[in-house]
Structure 1
Amino acid sequence: MDLSRLSTDLLFVALITVANGAPWLLGRCFGVDQARPVDAGLRFADGRPLLGPSKTWRGLAAAMIATPIFALLMGWPVWLGLAVGGAAMIGDLLASFLKRRLGLASSTSAPGLDQIPEALLPVLVATFWLDLDWFDLGLVVWIFLIGHLLVTHLIPRLLRSDSY
């Protein structure tokens, strides 16, 4: 793999991270109590919430605003940022839907399920625009998965550790 392709892959991981991180960051700053859930509190046929209260319109808007801006800053077209942000949010909503069907509460961690749709759908959408191949696709998803797991699981545990 040449360095320019690796650079594109890493920049794309950063773009996906912005798409998935913007809603989280906004939620941390303002909370989700006042935000309107995307599913409006609806329940699926199984009686469980459709998506859950942590999937909000405000979070979707954050991703759809932050991702095109970041794409533009990287020299990529705004429409690519919109497509990636939208695909990442569809992946996030899909993961939430599946987690509710599995009986997992909102904001419950599900390693793999929390990361793969959020990375796979955007990279599939961008494959043709960025001339990505199957190796790039796998690498981007793998880097996002490992990075997300490190940031959300391992690092907080290390910071809480008494072994400084």
Structure 2
Amino acid sequence: MMSGCFTCIAVALLLLVSANAAPILARNVFRQRYACPLDAGLKLSDGQPLFGHSKTWRGLVCAVFSVTVVAGLLGFDPVVGGLFGLLSMLGDLFASFCKRRLGKTASSRARGLDTLPESLLPAWILSTPLGLSALDIVLLVVLFFVIEEFVSPLLYKWHIRQRPY
């Protein structure tokens, strides 16, 4: 199916932005409270952390909760929303894991790797309930990348993000 459902893409993009924004907003609200690292400081044989200190239980829970609520407000089954949020965060954790293996520090930039897994994984696995075709998924991933490239520096300028990317 190669449609081009712009509404489906917009909904998925809104869910992605919600999943991505929730941990940042939670950090700004709670500061260091509840910021327990998902990897508990575990370092692998390469001397690098599993994920890094910036990947926290607070961020994971807030992302899943946020997307669950947004999906429900958009008329989707909240379970689909929760799963979307979880899959997006699993994609983000995969990217962090890869970046640590490449020797990059926590919160460092890796163009493409920073956005591809967290957008592709939920869109691909939940393509049917979200009504996304293969073309829609490609467009969604590209749009999410472009938004991250242009919005992140603004969020940094407005003191919402800690880094300009």
Give the match for residue 104 of structure 1: 104
* 2: CA distance, partners of 1:8 / 1:27: 30
Residue 30 of structure 1 and its aligned partner are, at CA, apart by 2.3
* 2: CA distance, partners of 1:61 / 1:93: 13
CA RMSD, 1 decimal: 2.0
Superposition pairs of residues 130-141 of structure 1, within 5 angstroms: 130-141=130-141
Task: Tell me: CA distance 1:105–1:32, structure 2 relative to 1, closer, same or farther (3 Å).
Answer: farther
Superposition pairs of residues 42-121 of structure 1, within 5 angstroms: 42-121=42-121
Q: Which runs of 5+ in 2 are unaligned?
A: 159-165
Give the match for residue 162 of structure 1: none
Residue 130 of structure 1 and its aligned partner are, at CA, apart by 2.3
Runs of 4 or more consecutive aligned structure 1 residues displaced over 3 Å after TM superposition: 155-159
Aligned residues: 157
> Which TM-score applies when normalising by structure 1?
0.88
Q: Which runs of 5+ in 1 are unaligned?
A: 160-164
Residue 32 of structure 1 and its aligned partner are, at CA, apart by 4.1
* 1: CA distance, partners of 2:60 / 2:21: 11
* 1: CA distance, partners of 2:73 / 2:128: 21
Give per-residue Cα distances to partners, 1:8-50, cap 9 Å, x unaligned.
2111101111011101111122234751100000001211111
**AA in 2 matched with 1:129:** P
Matched-pair identity in %? 39
> Which TM-score applies when normalising by structure 2?
0.88
Is contact 1:38-1:56 (8 Å) kept? yes
**AA in 2 matched with 1:46:** D
